[in-house]
């Protein structure tokens, strides 16, 4: 009786397929653990950096916004001036309007601290009214001094300010007004101030008197009566103020959309650029996944073909290869999310919230885990891994089993994957997007252009490698056709590279992406740094620069002190500068108005102009606006504009545009004589001194210190100011340098993993070479030359690609993000150093992998071919 073959049920088949899937996955990872670990690490680093920067900036911005909310309290409507201060005579009329329950006047300014570069924010309030509107601004007086909130010599400090200034209640705080010292008694703490918020509160009348601001206010906070429509009240009040005082006031709701947009705009471009920079590592990881998976699929083509012959359909094979990429992405993303949270917590704990940029001073945030952001970054990492293995998986599933079982068909497979037209289309689209305007003032199309440049160039690498190495092999063959002493090592190397250039091109993906991005970032940073130094040299032509305090807005030089500086022995000429903020749009940060001596006939002698300066029409004062004013406010050369000064709107003529690296929110330069004629403000912020021949800087500084107010002067030489500015620049770009270094390290690991995998996969090839008489030393030489040649091609191509990307960074992304332009400079020393490291890593990896591949002996290496 014939035996009956039992047909397995579906559950048994499914269980068997799952075991097979696990066996294939774990077997590949066990066989090549370094390659899997490198791909996982690249994804984890990219996710960790991106998620950490998101958490840091989110925490800092939320804490910054909360601190602003604390200063506004429960106010329903807020009135601010377009200038820093406005006349308090408008207060009685506004306070008695119908629907107003309490109107609280506020005077707010940054008080200069003698001998320090930082300032203390001081807020003057009416205690009787502020208690109902801004209770967080109420100090806690000592039991024996219950009326200190109204005292003219008392100030309440936040805990952060007390710690920062190393003071305690009843100590004396010294602040600066002009060149005079204002001494205030620390009456007690501000218990409800936010953590890290450096703040002082005092009586508004005392603040006006002590700091020479009699009759001036910064804002008025309104608490409306119950039942009053806040939106209607705000609209009507804004209409009336604009009718009575055109261009003088801004009416808004505290913490409304406009104010949030204004606060966020200060740091949005910085945060977005840092996040994109952090994802460079993830982008590099995507190509490492692609190259490792592509080489793995090519090496296992015969195994997959055998599985197809034994009954595995192409859809299941496709899912199996995608599962490998999915596992890489899941593991890498999970590690990255956990590491990102830890990095964010450590950075906030030890380095603060601004990452060196100084955008969130005065806040002390704590990291908060955000599930939505974590999910987004986790999905990004998984998606990148799946995209990296999509093309190899599709090719493996489409391959015919009968053809794939044969050896020597790998190059044909790569030729089908490395199609030229998508790469050319990507490069063409990148060129078009690089000319596109910003979206929401962010260079979205610029980033897409950079990504498409990378994708297109890497997709062309197999074709480029084939062209280069076949041409090199043809020239070498022609040159050595009649030379029996020609090097067999070089001949074999060029023959291998010419006939297996597709695998070489794929192997170069990680090298090219990491090196080109490193080149682009290095060129961008060097260009900015050198342009900044040139800008400072143009902007600092005097021998000495003098100011009464390094920080804050209350220190200044009055006319008698200006005259004393100009008459100082050894001083040939003295110029003065006045800086004050102006609000030109409710949803944008203040711009800086700078009044100084400018020769209208030759303004380029002092200002780094972009293009020519136009003569102003008769009767209209000229101004020179920064590049940011052109982008943000539409001001153009030859245009007439109005600016709010001295409580009125005044017409000016835009004579030219100048480059300003210090104020990305915008700045306007005007002649000091015009400013004084309009405002009557004779005080200045800074003085520039040109010395007579024979007078040294040391002599002039000594004479300055002997002036009656000399102890309050901060004197600097141009070289010192430039050095300090460059230190600030390097500190601001410290995170950029770190991310650049990480990209280089990932590139080095990518080189090591890719070449080691490729070398170990060629053990049979090396065994055959040993059989035909090639020595062990010659095989190692072949590998070293191959590694150096491939990496050299990757470096040359990466440099060209990085140069093109740097053009987009310098001339598209930076102007659209920060509203300034710069000159292109290449850091040849750094680029040569990194290129040498990559070459050395490739050659060393090839040698070490070759030693391992040759360790089994030639007979064992070719055993499978018998």
Per-residue pLDDT of 545-594, as tens digits, reads 998 887 788 888 999 999 999 999 999 999 999 999 999 988 788 899 99
pLDDT in tens, 46-71: 788 788 878 877 777 666 666 666 67
Residues recorded for the chain: 866
Name the more confident of 783 and 129: 129
Q: In sequence order, which residues have a C-beta less than 8 Å from that of residue 745 and are 6 or more positions away? A: none
Query: Quick one: 684 and 731 in the same domain?
Result: no
Classify each residue of 211-225 as buried b or exposed e, where b means 16 or more C-beta atoms within 10 Å of its C-beta: bebeebbbbbbbbbe
- Of 478, 427, 485, the closest CA to residue 454 belongs to 427
Q: Where are the beta strands (DSSP E) in 565-680?
A: 571-582, 591-596, 622-626, 640-645, 648-658, 667-671
- What is the CB-side half-sphere exposure of residue 24 using CA atoms within 13 A? 24
Per-residue confidence (pLDDT) for residue 269, from 0 to 100: 66
Half-sphere exposure of 494 (CA within 13 A, CB side): 18
Domain termination residue (choose one: 647, 681, 716)? 716
Contact 73, 194 (CB under 8 A): no
Residue 68 shares a structural domain with residue 82: no
User: CA neighbours within 13 Å on the CB side: how many for 307?
Assistant: 22
Using the 3D structure, point to which of 695, 716, 737 is the last residue of a domain: 716
Average pLDDT over every residue of 438-454? 88
Together in a domain, 743 and 851:
yes
Q: For residues 84 and 760, give the distance between their C-alpha atoms in angstroms, rounded to a whole number.
A: 70
**% of the chain surpassing 70 pLDDT:** 77
156 and 104 part of one domain: yes
Note the pLDDT tens digit of each residue in 807-847: 999 999 989 888 889 999 999 998 898 888 878 877 777 67
Q: Which residue has the higher pLDDT, 256 or 345?
A: 345
Same domain, 656 and 738: no
Identify whether 430 is part of a domain: no
3-class secondary structure, 576: strand
3-state secondary structure of 687: strand
Q: DSSP secondary-structure letter at 557?
A: B
Using CA atoms in the order 403, 404, 410, 416, what is the torsion angle rounded to 10 degrees? 70
Alpha-carbon distance of 613 to 637, in angstroms, equals 8
What is the C-alpha separation between 436 and 247, in angstroms, rounded? 34
pLDDT above 90: residue 543: yes
Per residue in 630-658, is it b (16+ CB within 10 Å) or e — as a string? bbbbebebeeebebbbeeeebebbbbbbb
Q: Are residues 136 and 177 in the same domain?
A: yes
Q: Where are the alpha helices (DSSP H) in 761-827?
A: 763-771, 776-808, 814-818
Q: What is the mean pLDDT of residues 705-734?
A: 86
Co-location of 512 and 637 in the same domain:
no
Residue 437 lies in a domain: no
* 127-136, 664-673, 731-740, 848-857, range with greatest mean pLDDT: 664-673
pLDDT category of residue 482 using cuts at 50, 70 and 90: confident
**Phi, psi angles (nearest 5°) of residue 521:** -65, -40
- Residue listed under structure tokens 């001998």: 115
- The total of other beta-carbon atoms located within 10 Å of residue 281's CB is 27
Tell me if 222 sits within 8 A of 251, measured CB to CB. Answer: no
Closest residue by Cα to residue 51 from 449, 305, 424, 372 = 372
> Judging by DSSP bridges, how do beta strands 77-81 and 591-596 pair with one another?
unpaired
What are 832's two structure tokens? 């040569």
16 part of a folded domain? no
- Cα separation values, 618 from 319, 615, 651, Å: 77, 9, 12
Give the lowest-confidence range in 193-207, 257-271, 813-827: 257-271
Q: Which residues neighbour 189 within 8 Å (Cβ) at sequence distance 6 or greater?
A: 139, 140, 156, 157, 158, 159, 162, 169
* Alpha-carbon gap, residue 507 to 509, rounded angstroms: 6
Alpha helices in 300-419 (DSSP H): 301-309, 314-350, 371-398, 401-404, 410-417
What pLDDT sits at residue 861?
46
Domain shared by 784 and 698, yes or no:
no
- Confirm whether 226 is domain-assigned: yes
The secondary structure of residue 137, as a DSSP letter, is G
**859 CB-contact burial (10 Å; exposed 0-12 / middle 13-18 / buried 19+):** exposed
Beta strands in 54-189 (DSSP E): 77-81, 86-87, 100-112, 119-125, 154-157, 172-177, 180-189
Mean pLDDT in residue range 637-645: 94
3-state helix, strand, coil in the chain (%, to 5): 60, 15, 25
The share of the chain scoring above pLDDT 90, in percent, equals 36
Mapping DSSP to helix (H, G, I), strand (E, B) and coil, where does residue 304 land? helix
**Distance from the first to the final alpha carbon of the chain:** 42
**677-705 mean pLDDT:** 93
pLDDT at 516 over 80: yes
What integer pLDDT is reported at residue 783 of this predicted model?
Answer: 77
pLDDT of residue 753: 64
Please count the CA atoms within 13 angstroms of the CA of 397 that sit on its side-chain side.
Answer: 16
- 851 in the same domain as 827: yes
501 or 224: which leads in pLDDT: 224
Q: What is the pLDDT of residue 812?
A: 93
d(Cα 838, Cα 512) in Å, to the nearest integer? 11
Q: What is the DSSP pairing of strand 640-645 with strand 544-547?
A: unpaired
Name which residue leads in pLDDT, 482 or 377. Answer: 377
Q: Is 402 exposed, middle or buried (0-12, 13-18, 19+ CB in 10 A)?
A: exposed
Please report where in the chains the tokens 């997709």 appear, as a residue: 459
171-195: average pLDDT: 90
Number of compact structural domains in the chain: 4
Highest mean pLDDT among 101-110, 305-314, 477-486: 101-110
Q: Are 92 and 203 in contact (CB under 8 A)?
A: no
Chain-wide mean pLDDT for the chain?
Answer: 82
Over residues 351-378, the mean pLDDT reads: 69
Alpha carbon distance 5, 405 (integer Å): 30
Look at residue 513 and tell me whether its pLDDT is greater than 60: yes
pLDDT at 603: 93
Residues 645 and 584 in one domain: yes
Strand partners, 574: 689
Q: Are residues 285 and 216 in the same domain?
A: no
Domain membership of residue 312 as a residue range:
21-73+260-417
Q: 449 lies in a domain?
A: no
Query: 3-class DSSP state for residue 563?
Result: helix
Mean pLDDT (whole number) for 519-534: 90
Place of tokens 């958490």: 55
Q: What is the pLDDT of residues 287-334, one digit of tens each?
A: 666 766 666 666 666 677 677 676 677 777 777 778 887 888 899 899
2 domain residue, yes or no: no
In a domain, 443, yes or no: no
CA distance 397 to 416: 13
Residue 88 has pLDDT above 80, yes or no: yes
Can you tell me the distance from the alpha carbon of 630 to that of 611, in angstroms, rounded to the nearest whole number? 13
Whole-number pLDDT of residue 261: 47
According to DSSP, residue 580 is labeled: E
User: Residue 753 domain-assigned?
Assistant: yes
Q: Shortest CA distance to 502 belongs to which of 298, 332, 773?
A: 298
CA dihedral (304, 307, 308, 310) in degrees, to 10, reads 160
Give the per-residue pLDDT at 24.
65
Shared domain check, 810 and 707:
no
Q: How far is CA 224 from the centre of its chain?
A: 42
Confidence band, pLDDT 50/70/90 cuts, at residue 865: very low
Helix pair angle (410-417, 501-539), 10° resolution: 40
Minimal CA–CA distance to 194: which of 367, 59, 73, 63? 63
DSSP 439: B
Q: How far apart are CA 466 and CA 164, in angstroms?
A: 64
pLDDT in tens, 275-291: 776 666 677 666 666 76
**Which of 688, 716, 744 is the last residue before a domain boundary?**
716
Task: Report whether pLDDT(150) > 50.
Answer: yes
């Amino acid at each position: 009786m014939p035996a009956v073959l039992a047909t397995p049920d579906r559950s048994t088949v499914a269980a068997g397929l799952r075991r097979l899937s696990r066996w294939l996955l774990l077997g590949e990872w066990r066989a090549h653990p370094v390659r899997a670990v490198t791909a996982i690490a690249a994804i984890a680093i990219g996710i960790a950096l991106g998620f950490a920067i998101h958490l840091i900036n989110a925490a800092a911005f939320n804490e910054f916004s909360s601190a602003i909310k604390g200063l506004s309290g429960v106010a329903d409507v807020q009135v601010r001036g377009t200038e820093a201060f406005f006349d308090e005579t408008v207060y009685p009329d506004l306070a008695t309007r119908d629907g107003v329950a309490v109107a609280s006047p506020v005077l707010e300014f940054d008080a200069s601290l003698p001998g320090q570069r930082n300032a203390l924010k001081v807020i003057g309030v009416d205690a009787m009214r502020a208690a109902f509107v801004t209770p967080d601004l109420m100090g806690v007086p000592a039991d024996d001094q219950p009326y200190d909130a109204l005292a003219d010599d008392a100030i309440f400090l936040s805990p952060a300010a007390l710690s920062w200034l190393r003071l305690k209640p009843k100590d004396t705080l010294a602040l600066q007004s002009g060149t005079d010292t204002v001494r205030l008694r620390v009456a007690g703490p501000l218990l409800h101030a936010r953590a890290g918020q450096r703040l002082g509160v005092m009586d508004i009348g005392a603040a006006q008197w002590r700091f020479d601001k009699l009759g001036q206010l910064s804002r008025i906070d309104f608490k409306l009566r119950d039942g009053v429509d806040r939106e209607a009240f705000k609209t009507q009040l804004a209409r009336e103020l604009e009718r009575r005082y055109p261009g003088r006031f801004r009416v808004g709701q505290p913490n409304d959309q406009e104010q949030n947009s204004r606060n966020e705009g200060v740091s949005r471009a910085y945060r977005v650029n840092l996040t994109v920079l952090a994802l460079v590592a993830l982008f590099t990881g995507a190509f490492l996944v692609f190259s490792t998976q592509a080489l793995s699929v090519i090496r296992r083509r015969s195994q997959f073909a055998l599985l197809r012959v034994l009954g595995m359909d192409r859809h299941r094979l496709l899912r199996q290869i995608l599962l490998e990429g999915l596992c890489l992405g899941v593991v890498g993303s999970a590690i990255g999310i956990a590491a990102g949270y830890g990095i964010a917590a450590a950075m906030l704990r030890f380095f603060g919230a601004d990452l060196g940029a100084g955008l969130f001073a005065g806040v002390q945030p704590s990291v908060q885990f955000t599930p939505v952001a974590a999910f987004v970054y986790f999905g990004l990492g998984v998606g990148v891994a799946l995209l990296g293995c999509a093309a190899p998986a599709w090719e493996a599933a489409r391959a015919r089993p009968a053809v794939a079982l044969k050896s020597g068909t790998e190059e044909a497979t790569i030729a089908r994957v490395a199609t030229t037209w998508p790469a050319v289309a990507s490069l063409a689209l990148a060129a078009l997007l690089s000319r596109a305007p910003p979206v929401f003032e962010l260079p979205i199309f610029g980033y897409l252009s950079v990504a498409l440049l990378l994708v297109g160039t890497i997709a062309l690498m197999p074709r480029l490698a084939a062209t280069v190495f076949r041409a090199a092999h043809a020239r070498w063959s022609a040159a050595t056709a009649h030379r029996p002493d020609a090097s067999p090592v070089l001949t074999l190397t060029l023959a291998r590279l010419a006939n297996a250039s597709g695998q070489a091109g794929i192997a170069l993906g990680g090298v090219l992406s990491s090196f080109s991005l490193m080149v682009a970032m290095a060129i961008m940073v060097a260009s900015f740094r050198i342009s900044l130094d040139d800008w400072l040299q143009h902007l600092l032509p005097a021998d000495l620069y003098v100011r009464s305090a390094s920080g804050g807005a209350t220190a200044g030089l009055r006319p008698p002190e200006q005259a004393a500086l100009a008459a100082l022995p050894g001083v040939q000429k003295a110029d003065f500068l006045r800086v004050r903020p102006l609000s030109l749009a409710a949803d944008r940060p203040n711009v800086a108005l700078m009044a100084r001596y400018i020769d209208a006939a030759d303004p380029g002698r002092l200002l780094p102009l972009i293009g020519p300066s136009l003569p102003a029409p008769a009767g209209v004062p000229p101004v020179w606006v920064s590049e940011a004013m052109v982008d943000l406010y539409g001001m153009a050369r030859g245009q007439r504009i109005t600016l709010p000064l001295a409580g009125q709107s005044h017409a000016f003529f835009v004579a030219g545009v100048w480059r300003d690296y210090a104020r990305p929110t915008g700045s306007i330069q005007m002649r000091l004589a015009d400013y004084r004629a309009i405002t009557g403000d004779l005080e200045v912020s800074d003085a520039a001194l040109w010395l007579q021949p024979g007078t040294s800087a040391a002599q002039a500084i000594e004479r300055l210190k002997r002036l009656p107010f000399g102890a309050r002067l901060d004197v600097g030489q141009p070289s010192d100011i430039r050095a300090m500015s460059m230190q600030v620049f390097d500190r601001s770009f410290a995170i950029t340098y770190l991310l650049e270094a990480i990209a280089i390290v990932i590139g080095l690991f990518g080189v090591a993993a890719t070449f080691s995998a490729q070398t170990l996969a060629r053990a049979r090839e090396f065994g055959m070479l040993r059989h035909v008489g090639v020595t062990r030393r010659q095989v190692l030489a072949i590998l070293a030359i191959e590694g150096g040649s491939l990496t050299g091609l990757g470096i040359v191509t990466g440099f060209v690609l990085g140069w093109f990307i740097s053009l987009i960074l310098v001339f598209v992304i930076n102007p659209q993000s920060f509203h300034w332009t710069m000159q292109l400079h290449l850091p040849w020393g750094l680029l040569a150093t990194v290129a040498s490291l990559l070459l050395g890593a490739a050659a060393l990896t090839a040698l070490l992998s070759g030693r391992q591949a040759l360790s089994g002996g030639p007979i064992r290496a070719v055993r499978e071919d018998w």
